[in-house]
Structure 1
């Protein structure tokens, strides 16, 4: 049986017994714990723990834990804006390029001449009555064209998840079409493009679902590329993933890339006077200021 629920007073006692300094005072600590939650905030005091009993390094401040939490929240918000722009653009290019390669197949995503059989066979599981009812343009299409099994690609793909968009790209039979899409973003290698695409999806899912970002490492090594250098040659770090996001964004809009990059730099600069957080930014995120 797991641990039982505790009161906020008991939570504070646990923290102080383990060595946490309530530098903002006990009342503020209660306010924060009742706002963010003891369990969620625990992910942000993990870097300060020194043993299996979860004792804290001497001098660990409650304020540093909370500031790390908000650093993570703010960084997710910044990256969300960038990834949303990339997602729309990738979706648009996939629809445009493939639809114009196969104008005779408006529902090419469900055609075995275009797509690998496995994807086509599994697609009805996603394009069900719930999907049609939830997305008004799709519902309207089937009301107007009741004999159509699917709405055309330029309608259907707008309502699929970002992960599904990747699956569609991956499941295309014609490698030349994959290359055309990759080439649009400056890639000579489809494999590297796919690797970057997967990296963006990984970070997107963390940001979209309020996951833990600052401590994230990509499960797959980011491909070596001439586009940028990896800090400390770390091809899994969050900083390296951010470089991937900024690369894509620059291909879409250099102005937007500049804005997002400056927002990230400014966010990290806010903690220049805090040695504790700057160490986490360098060691956990992998960021090194130019």
Structure 2
């Protein structure tokens, strides 16, 4: 299907939105939002306010399709305020994930370093069946080979003085307690997923989790980290990777979560996981209270279509245990 949408000036973009039914009470402010945030980025936040109609037979597997028209009383500010709410949400999440990432680096360096200074380079320190698995379906690389390629790339791209210092003074290979400082969240998740079960369980037990649940949670937070790092829409995103849940009564707050694929495909569960891990790492943290207070500022809309925390997949009565 050829792309035929023309370039539009900011004024034309705004006129198009008004023509489709969005209410604009301050044209200068509206133009400023389009110039600073961008039409396409904002479109993810006004999308829920579009009118939906039944999909044509054979057109799509979906039951409805979005039209270009907006629901009655939808204001451009409805989308802008959602964007600002989402921006602050991402900043709060990044703050927590940074602390979790650093703590996981320490966990890995301490455990693997006890085995061998360069344990991260030696497949014998990892689970044989895990490291032999294809990196993904149809891949000719094993998980270990893919991880090594990623790790080598992180070292090569690093501009840190300590990397240059170690290369000059001690050779090409970094000891594990130095190497972890170039890991990103994805590398951490991959490495944990290849470790021997006993080692995974050793780290997981610190967080009160089974090793399989722990590995899936870290993978889920890696996905969350990528969303935030790329400034992508978070608040009502469909999460493509669903996490595992502990057995009943193993983690008290998880008992409020029924096996609900729709809820597990929303970001609230990842926010709750972030809270759980951070409270282990920093027992006196107030981060979860700052996040709670922010969630309770969810903007009200003038549009007849109302959105709320339910669109995030929130758990009923979540404030009772939060």
Q: What TM-score bracket applies, with the shorter chain setting the length?
A: 0.7 to 0.9
Please state how far the C-alpha of 1:154 moved relative to its aligned partner: 0.5
1:110 corresponds to 2:121 = yes
The residue aligned with 2:9 is 7
1:29 corresponds to 2:30 = yes
More helix by share: 1
Q: Answer with 153-162 or 125-134: which moved more.
A: 125-134
Q: Deviations over 1:187-245 (max 9, x none)?
A: 1x211111111111111110111011012132233222342123894222211111111
Q: CA RMSD in A?
A: 2.4
The residue aligned with 2:178 is 155
Unmatched tracts of structure 2, length 5 or more: 53-65, 133-141
SS in 2 for 1:50: strand
1:176 corresponds to 2:198 = yes
Match 1:89 to one of 88, 103, 126: 103
SS in 2 for 1:222: coil
1:143 corresponds to 2:171 = no
Please state how far the C-alpha of 1:65 moved relative to its aligned partner: 0.9
Match 2:152 to one of 127, 141, 147: 127
What does residue range 1-290 of structure 1 map to in structure 2 within 5 Å? 1-23=3-25, 25-51=26-52, 52-100=66-114, 102=115, 105-115=116-126, 116=131, 118=142, 120-122=144-146, 123=148, 126-127=151-152, 131=156, 134-146=159-171, 149-172=172-195, 174-187=196-209, 189-225=210-246, 226=249, 227=251, 228=253, 229-230=256-257, 233=260, 234-256=263-285, 259-271=286-298, 274=301, 279-287=306-314, 288=316, 290=319
Please state how far the C-alpha of 1:133 moved relative to its aligned partner: 6.0
Q: Would the aligned equivalents of 1:132 and 1:138 in 2 still touch at CA under 8 Å?
A: no
Unmatched tracts of structure 1, length 5 or more: none
Distance verdict in 2 for CA 1:274–1:56, change over 3 Å: closer
Distance 1:66 1:232 in 2: 34
Please state how far the C-alpha of 1:161 moved relative to its aligned partner: 1.4
The answer to which structure, 1 or 2, has the higher relative contact order (CA under 8 A, 6+ apart) is 2
